Amino acid sequence: MSNADNDPNPTPMPKNPDTMRREAVDITKRRYRGLPAYRAHNLPIHAESDPITAAQALEEGRALLKEKKLAAAMLKADTVRGLASVGSELWADGMTFRAEVYLEQGSVQSARDTLRRVLHQNEGYVPARLLMAESYRRIGMYPKAIQHFLETIPLLPDPAERSQWQKVLADTYIANGQPALARKVLRVVEKPEALGMETRLKTAAALLLPDTAVAWMLLVLVLGISLMSFATFPTPINVLIVIGCIAVYGTVQWIRLPKSKT
Q: What is the pLDDT of residues 64-79, one digit of tens each?
A: 999 999 999 999 999 9
Please give the single-letter amino acid code of residue 117: R
- The whole-number pLDDT of residue 209 equals 66
pLDDT band with cut points at 50, 70 and 90 for residue 39: very low
Cα of 62 vs its chain's centroid, Å: 14
- In terms of domains, do 73 and 196 share one? yes
Last residue of one domain, picked from the residues 186, 211, 236: 211
- The whole-number pLDDT of residue 246 equals 73
- The whole-number pLDDT of residue 163 equals 87
Q: What is the pTM of this model?
A: 0.59
Overall number of domains in the chain: 2
Q: What is the pLDDT of residues 184-242, one digit of tens each?
A: 787 776 454 444 556 556 655 666 666 667 677 777 777 777 777 776 777 777 777 77
The answer to whether residue 86 is domain-embedded is yes
Burial string for 121-155 (b: 16+ CB within 10 Å, else e) reads: eeeebbbbbbbbbbbbbeeebbeebbebbeebbee
The answer to whether residue 15 is domain-embedded is no
- In terms of domains, do 219 and 199 share one? no
- In terms of domains, do 56 and 173 share one? yes
- In terms of domains, do 250 and 164 share one? no
- The whole-number pLDDT of residue 140 equals 92
CATH number at residue 107: 1.25.40.10
Output 33 or 142, whichever has higher pLDDT.
Answer: 142
Q: What angle do CA 65, 138, 172 make, to 5 degrees?
A: 115
- The whole-number pLDDT of residue 23 equals 62
Q: What is the pLDDT of residues 41-60, one digit of tens each?
A: 433 344 457 889 989 999 99
What value does the mean pLDDT take over residues 112-134?
A: 93
- In terms of domains, do 47 and 160 share one? yes
Please give the single-letter amino acid code of residue 56: Q
Please give the single-letter amino acid code of residue 76: K
The answer to whether residue 9 is domain-embedded is no
The answer to whether residue 12 is domain-embedded is no
Output 40 or 137, whichever has higher pLDDT.
Answer: 137
Q: Dihedral angle at the C-alpha atoms of 78, 79, 84, 88, nearest 10 degrees?
A: -40
Q: What is the pLDDT of residues 126-173, one digit of tens each?
A: 999 999 999 999 999 999 999 999 999 999 888 888 888 998 998 898
- In terms of domains, do 75 and 122 share one? yes
- In terms of domains, do 160 and 218 share one? no
Which residue range forms the structural domain that includes residue 136?
21-211
- The whole-number pLDDT of residue 196 equals 55
- In terms of domains, do 91 and 181 share one? yes
The answer to whether residue 90 is domain-embedded is yes
- In terms of domains, do 241 and 189 share one? no
- In terms of domains, do 152 and 247 share one? no
The answer to whether residue 16 is domain-embedded is no
- In terms of domains, do 253 and 161 share one? no
Last residue of one domain, picked from the residues 211, 232, 252: 211
The answer to whether residue 101 is domain-embedded is yes
Which residues make Cβ contacts (< 8 Å) with residue 236, sequence separation at least 6?
none
- The whole-number pLDDT of residue 258 equals 43
- The whole-number pLDDT of residue 57 equals 92
The answer to whether residue 14 is domain-embedded is no
The C-alpha atoms of residue 57 and residue 204 are separated, in whole angstroms, by 42
- In terms of domains, do 82 and 186 share one? yes
Question: Cβ(84)–Cβ(54) under 8 Å?
Answer: yes
Q: Which of 10-14, 62-66, 81-85 has the lowest mean pLDDT?
A: 10-14
